[in-house]
Each structure stands twice: as structure tokens, then as C-alpha cells.
Amino acid sequence: MRGSSLFADKIVTGKKADVNFLIACVLLIGMGSMTLYSVSGATAVRILKGDSYFIIHQLRVLAVSIFALVLMSVINFEYLRKYLPLIVAIALILCVLTIIPGIGIEKKGARRWLGIKKVFEFQPSELIKLVIVLFLSNLFAKKYNRLDELSVSVIPAMIMTSFFIFIIYMQKDFSTAIIIMLVALVLFFFSGIKKRWFVILFCFILPTVILVVFTEPYRVRRIISFLNPALDPYGASYQLNAAKRAIATGGFWGKGFGEILKGTAIPEVQSDFIFAGWAVEMGFFGVLLYFVLLIWFSIRGYIIAFRCKDRFGSLVALGAVSAILFQSLMNCGVVCGFLPSTGIPLPFFSSGGSSLVVSMSLCGLIINVSRMNISQGSVYE
């Protein structure tokens, strides 16, 4: 690793990045930007901003995100692994700072942000999605021949993952904690450790999640409103009911681009509930189109992961694709009423710089891995 350069060397075989995956990324980003532009105008006017406020901000962030994608797609993985302890330390420090009064920015009772309120804000918990993928992939790849030695592989991975989840839970960001837990479980499962340890880990996590859910009154209210939406129609169920009513008006073909501005009220339509806006304007056909694109994106990502001969790269791609897929499905599940309400952005769609930058960085890592596919086959064979 000594003397490694920042950027990866030219691929010996001349293999280029996976074009299909890159096209899927571009289409998702384009679809998301178009949707945000179309549905956010009324909300921007209501908060006394210009009707293009959200899309202009998003395009600025998109420029940074494209830079992050390009950087992650060409960076030397050996260089990245060399400085991984520093990256992990910085991410943890940033997360801890959010829960310190006077430093972290509080919104709706949660401390998840750093920066200057209404000027520049960053959500460190989003960064943990990237860090957990790199950390576990590096650990399992580095200790691959010693995975049966719990003290050097499984236990350190469990401790660090638990610490990540605990820090994010302290920020009252339960949905992100769940995403990180799911990504960790995927990496544990495919890392090569004996499956009994995976089962033990799962049996430990499940009751912990249940306990965490039922120790917060507002989470209990969300569960109850999910099971019985009519119980609190103007409280815990308001957002979900409004989104479901709006989606129902879309029909098969939808109302059309920009028509959501005409009388359709969806709370947080520019953020966590933007998928409802897409469903209203593009109808069932648009919903189907989105899921076809998401599935294509995910399949191409998993193909890249399972064909890669480098164990670290393979696990990185696997974790990165899973993080975006799980978050997308969770958001859509909430908006459509299949999951209890929780605040989580839709990757590539929702307004918010932290989510977009991290999602694009994850895509960059996957593209980087696709350039490592120097031969056919799978590391898991």
C-alpha cells in the first residue's frame, strides 16, 4: 500500500465502466430532478421563496454530487483503505457533534444536522451509510482467512456496527439506523462468516429493534396510525392519508407534468413524500416505470458486485447497491402505506444535499468496482 496514488491505475484489460449501470444512474437522477422541479413550486411559494427555490438548490448540490461520483469512480481503493481509519473517525466525530446542544441543529425534536441553519446544513448520518459499507468491506476482506476467529472479525464488526447505529439512534434518526442495520446484515451474510453467526446476530438485532420502537411514544403512535389510519386522521396519520388520497387521483396515466400544483396538497412533497407527487403526475404507469428503472439499477449493481474478483470491491458494490435499494423501497413503502411513517428521503428525488451527495458517492464506488472486473466469474464461487 505504500506509495499508492490517489487515483486508480489504468485498467490493464482496458475495461470501461459498466455503461448500463451508468445509464440507470443518469435516468434516476434526471427523473428525480424533473420531479422535484415539477412538484416543489407550491411549497416554495408557501414558505415565501421563489417557485424554483428547491430545484435551484438541488442543482447546486447536484454539481457537488457529480464531482463526488467522479472522484469515487476513479479513486484508488488501496488509497481509500489506507485512510479509512481517519474517515471513520471523522464521520463519528461529526455524528457526535450533532447531539451536542449549541452545535447540532435541531428540527422537529431531532438533532441530525450540522452547519448554519437555513444557510448550509449537512446530515452526518447520511455519511455513515458510506462509511459502514467501506468499513465492513475492508474488515471482511482483510480478515477473510480468519473469519472463524470471532475476536478478529465478527466481534469487531458487530461492535463498530452497533456503535454506528447507537450514535444515529441518539440523533432520533431511526430510519437511517434501520438502513445501516440492513446493509450490515447483507455484508455479514455474504462476507463468508459461518451462517450460524449471522443467525445469532439477526436474533440479537430483532428484539433490540422491537424494544427501541416501543420505548418512544411517537413511534408507537406511528405504528398505531399505520394499523388504523382513521384513528388519528389529523395527527399521526395526516401525512400518510394525504399522500394516499393524492396518489389515488393519479389514475393510470397521471394528471400530467406540473398538474400537482392545481389543488393537490401533499405535506413534504419536495422531501420525504416526493414519490406521491411523482405518482400523482405520472400515475400508475409512472410508478411502474420508476420501479422498472430501480430494478434495472439494482440488478446491474449486483451483477457488478458478484462478478468482481476483488473481495473488497465486491463487498463495496454489494453494500452500496443495497443501501440505495433499501432506502428507496422503504421510502416508497411509507408513501404507499405499506410501512409505518418514518422520515427518510427518496434517493435521487428528495430535496436535500446530504442524501444526494452520499447516494452519488455510492454510485461512484459501484462504477469504480465495475472497472475492476478483469475476468468473468464471481468471488463467491
The beta-strand segments (E) located in the chain are 105-107, 110-116, 120-122
Q: 249 in a domain, yes or no? A: yes
Residues 6+ positions from 352 with CB-CB distance below 8 Å: 123, 271, 345
Say which residue, 380 or 225, is predicted with more confidence.
Answer: 225
pLDDT tens digit sequence for 75-128: 999 999 999 999 999 999 998 888 887 787 777 667 777 876 666 788 888 999
Q: Which of 319, 320, 304, 325 is nearest to 379 (CA)?
A: 304
Highest-scoring range by mean pLDDT, 96-100, 148-152, 275-279, 369-373: 275-279
The parent domain of residue 90 ranges over: 19-370
* Confidence band for 2, pLDDT divided at 50, 70 and 90: very low
Range in 54-58, 230-234, 271-275 with the lowest mean pLDDT:
230-234
The upper half-sphere exposure of residue 47, i.e. CA atoms within 13 Å in the direction of its Cβ, equals 12
Q: Can you state the percent helix, strand and coil of the chain, rounding each to 5? A: 65, 5, 30
Q: pLDDT per residue over 270-293, tens digit each?
A: 888 899 999 999 999 999 999 999
DSSP 7: B
Average pLDDT, the chain: 84
Residue 7 located in a structural domain: no
For 270-306, give one letter per residue: b (16+ CB within 10 A) or e: bbbbbbbbbbbbbbeebbeebeeebebbbebbbbbbb
- Residue count (the chain): 381
Residue 14 lies in a domain: no
Q: Please check whether residue 297 lies inside any domain of the structure.
A: yes
The answer to whether the CB of 175 falls within 8 A of the CB of 128 is no
The pLDDT assigned to 109 comes to 65
Q: Residue 347 and residue 328: Cα distance in Å, rounded?
A: 6
Q: Quick one: pLDDT at residue 11?
A: 45
Does the pLDDT value for residue 29 go beyond 90?
yes
| Residue 156 Cα distances to 9, 49, 166, 195, 228, angstroms | 32, 48, 15, 17, 41
Q: Is residue 2 part of a domain?
A: no
Does residue 57 form part of some domain? yes
Q: How many domains does the chain have?
A: 1
For residue 3, being part of any structural domain is answered with no
Cell numbers describing residue 130: 458510506
pLDDT tens for 189-224 read 999 888 777 777 777 777 777 777 777 776 777 777
With respect to residue 8, please indicate whether it lies within any of the assigned structural domains. Answer: no
| Amino acid (1-letter code) at residue 9 | D
Please, are residues 181 and 213 in contact by the beta-carbon 8 Å criterion? no
